């Protein structure tokens, strides 16, 4: 069997480059907050985020969906997360109608796809509080030491302990640590 000619290799390489370029453009486009908010059922999350402590980053820029929800350190994990969440969200939007989302069932899945690397991109020093203007509590220090493997091994990532920082479902408003956030959100909920 003869080897393919140079022309076949060139055409094949051009086709491969075009496919990779289109895939990269699709990933980039579908990672934009505007894309996420194109489905009406996602707007409640945007409204909650705007009132949360995580509405803006340390530089004062608005935080987008992908900064928290798309794993950034590993290409395979990022593509897997985008595929899983994209298919799930398309199903909810097109088949279930996107109303009456079961947020209690969604929380564990959302937490699984909130990568610690995304949290640590902003929160690098785990000995300082969220505003970086003082130390964390003694309980927080022990938990972070455990997370870093200094006094045992953590069983969960950042969102295992730090819940409801950007979104707050009604059933979690009763938790005392959420009271200030819950009061802000009550002003926007019907």
What pLDDT digit, counting tens, does each position of 124-163 carry? 888 888 777 888 888 888 888 888 888 777 677 888 888 7
Three-state DSSP class for 142? Answer: helix
How many whole angstroms separate alpha carbon 46 and alpha carbon 61? 15
Q: How do residues 20-33 score in pLDDT, each as one tens digit?
A: 999 989 888 988 98
pLDDT of residue 112: 76
Q: Is-contact 110 69, C-beta < 8 A?
A: yes
Q: Is-contact 48 185, C-beta < 8 A?
A: yes
Q: How confident is the model at residue 82 (pLDDT cuts 50, 70, 90)?
A: confident
This prediction's pTM? 0.73
Three-state DSSP class for 62? Answer: strand
Does the pLDDT at position 45 exceed 90?
no
Q: Is-contact 155 141, C-beta < 8 A?
A: no
pLDDT of residue 29: 92
Does the pLDDT at position 100 exceed 70?
no
Q: Give the residue-averaged pLDDT of 59-82.
A: 85
Does the pLDDT at position 1 exceed 60?
no
């Amino acid at each position: 069997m003869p080897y393919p000619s140079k022309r076949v290799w060139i055409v094949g390489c051009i086709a491969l480059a075009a496919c990779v370029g289109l895939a990269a453009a699709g990933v980039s486009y579908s990672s934009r907050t505007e894309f996420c908010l194109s489905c009406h059922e996602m707007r409640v999350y945007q409204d909650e985020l705007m009132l949360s402590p995580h509405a803006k980053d340390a530089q004062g820029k608005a935080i987008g969906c992908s900064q928290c929800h798309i794993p950034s350190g590993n290409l395979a994990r990022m593509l897997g997360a985008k595929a899983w969440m994209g298919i799930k969200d398309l199903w909810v939007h097109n088949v279930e109608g996107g109303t009456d989302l079961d947020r209690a069932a969604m929380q564990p899945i959302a937490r699984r796809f909130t990568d610690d690397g995304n949290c640590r991109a902003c929160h690098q020093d785990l000995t300082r509080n969220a505003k970086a203007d003082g130390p964390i509590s003694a309980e927080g220090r022990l938990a972070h030491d455990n997370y870093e493997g200094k006094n045992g091994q953590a069983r969960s990532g950042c969102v295992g302990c730090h819940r409801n920082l950007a979104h707050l479902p009604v059933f979690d408003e009763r938790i005392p640590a959420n009271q200030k956030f819950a009061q802000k959100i009550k002003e926007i909920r019907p």
